[in-house]
Amino acid sequence: MTVFSPPLLLVVFVTHLPFFAWRYWKTREPRYAATSLTFSLLALTYGLRVFAPEAVVRGVPWFWIARIPAWGAATVSIAFLVHHHAGRWATRPSKHAASSSGTDKNEE
């Protein structure tokens, strides 16, 4: 099993965050807001793990506590993603329906 290092994950989340924030700013779609929030919280989580691993609250590391809202935001973000793509797949005509309607030019 491959385990990614916290510094690598921090770089991934920090570098992708501006793109999703920009996409939300341009489109105002909630799915980009959710993704931006998720990446922000994950960047915070891994930032705490990399730069302040000894910071604790009642014996629990801060990065461990920050994971809870990050996973919650990730759940919402994934739900938006699934909802968006399910709507796109549901409205897309199938190849079989297009060929049986007589609009297929290869049948001439």
Interval 50-68: pLDDT, tens: 999 999 999 999 999 999 9
Q: Name which of 25-29, 67-71, 90-94, 99-103 the model is least confident about.
A: 99-103
Please tell me the pTM assigned to this model: 0.73
- Cα–Cα nearest to 93, from 83, 101, 82: 101
Sequence-ordered strand ranges (E) for the chain = 56-57, 60-61
Q: 3-class DSSP state for residue 61? A: strand
